[in-house]
Structure 1
Amino acid sequence: MSNGFTKLKLDELNRASVTEFKAQVKLPVAVVLDSVRSMHNIGSIFRTSDGFAVEQIYLCGITAQPPHREIEKTALGATQSVNWTYHADAVEAVKQLRADGYRIIAIEQAANSVMLNEFTPDKNEKYALIFGNEVNGVSDEVMQLIDTCIEIPQFGTKHSFNIVVSAGIVLWDFFAKLAIG
């Protein structure tokens, strides 16, 4: 007895080619990785950014850059579809994003942060979402430059989510609230 659910094959998913992806409308979001250590995390954020059609990723500080085998293990080719740049200094990258008209937002646990479920992005703005180092979070120097800080509500015993989980939650929330698709 069948309930009517059958898994789709890859060729039935109707995904965009890299060329089509590059030409499509993007979520008005730049993802900034502030000294992210794990190449698997970096690759996963590339893949998540591809899934939500993010404009660009800024790799900063010690964050590794493609091409690298350990990034590709989780990116699965998303380093080819998502535009990215490397910046040795996250502060300079954030200053450039501000000059380019982005609203600067740290995803961090901080005094006076706004809970993600209470934040409503403006469809007329562009956003730079900063995700920090797995241990130390967003650097103090970058925190001094932000316009606001978003925190993901948590109800368990752990202090934080993995950076990839955080990126997935926040990017989905922005995608859903901005409804670009």
Structure 2
Amino acid sequence: MRKLEMDELNRKSIDEFKQAEKNKIIVVLENIRSMQNVGSVFRTADAFLIEAIYLIGYTPQPPHRDIHKTALGATETVQWNYFSTTDEAIQLLKADGYQVYGIEQVEKSISLEQFSRKADDKLALIFGNEAMGVEQSTLAQCDGCIEIPQLGMKHSLNISVAAGVVLWEMVRMHVTSSPKVEF
């Protein structure tokens, strides 16, 4: 087994990325404190061709060196918008036909592996503050909540890890199947 060289990875240029068909998913970051978490979510959104990121409230906005440190250029490829309140963002999302789901542990949440969507469903996923999660007033406006199953003692994940897990699962549902490889 040989590690691939950078020129073998078939990376898109910034223009190719911007012109590529995106997954109809908008990530909403509600009052995230850490610039590194924001940068990491940008990088994940780039990896999975996510349509856009909405930054809410006191969530840090690019350009900033601490965001760029983890985003590694993804703030140049992934479209983003800032809203002072989550209410503004949700109103726009719903007017544009998006289903809005909080990523949160709540009564009657849908376990991530049980959630299904069609490839052309327009979906907005709200990730909340590192300590407090998605605000209760925001949850009241959601079409539902998705929960990441966790088996250990801790029942929380870092926002950037949670975003990676959820976004991969949303995209994985519609990735063209390849034959299984056995080793």
Normalising by structure 1, report the TM-score.
0.95
On the 8 A contact 2:23/2:119 being kept in 1, the answer is: no
Hey, what does 2:75 align to over in structure 1? 79
After superposing on structure 2, the runs of 4+ consecutive aligned residues of structure 1 that deviate more than 2 Å are: 178-181
Residue 89 of structure 1 pairs with residue 67 of structure 2: no
Please tell me whether residue 31 in structure 1 is matched to residue 27 in structure 2. yes
* C-alpha spacing 1:35/1:180, structure 2 compared with 1 (3 Å): farther
Flag structure 2 segments of 5+ consecutive residues without an equivalent.
Answer: 178-183
Give identity over the alignment, percent.
Answer: 51
Asked if structure 2 preserves the Cα contact closer than 8 Å seen for 1:104 and 1:146, the reply is: yes
Q: Does 1:142 align with 2:138?
A: yes
Aligned equivalent of 2:117: 121
Matched ranges for 1:36-51 at <5 A: 36-51=32-47
Structure 1 residues 28 and 170: alpha-carbon distance in aligned structure 2, compared to 1, 3 A threshold: same
Mapped partners of 1:67, 1:146: distance in 2 = 30
Segments of structure 1 that go 5 or more residues without pairing to the other structure are: none
Q: Residues 180, 108 of structure 1: CA spacing in aligned structure 2 closer, same or farther, 3 A cutoff?
A: farther
Partner residue, 1:101: 97
8 Å CA contact retained: 1:30, 1:128: yes
Aligned length: 177
Q: Secondary structure at the match of 1:178?
A: coil
Looking at structure 1, the residues matched to 89 and 176 of structure 2 have their Cα atoms a distance apart, in angstroms, of 26
Verify the 8 A CA contact 2:68 2:75 in the aligned structure 1. Answer: yes
Partner residue of 1:11?
Answer: 7
2: distance between equivalents of 1:87 and 1:180? 34
- 8 Å contact kept, 1:105–1:146: yes
* Other-structure match for 1:165: 161
Aligned partners of 1:25 and 1:180 also within 8 Å: no
- Equivalents in 1 of 2:120, 2:41: separation in Å? 25
Cα deviation, residue 122, structure 1: 2.2
Secondary structure of residue in 1 paired with 2:173: helix
1 CA distance for matches of 2:128 and 2:47?
21
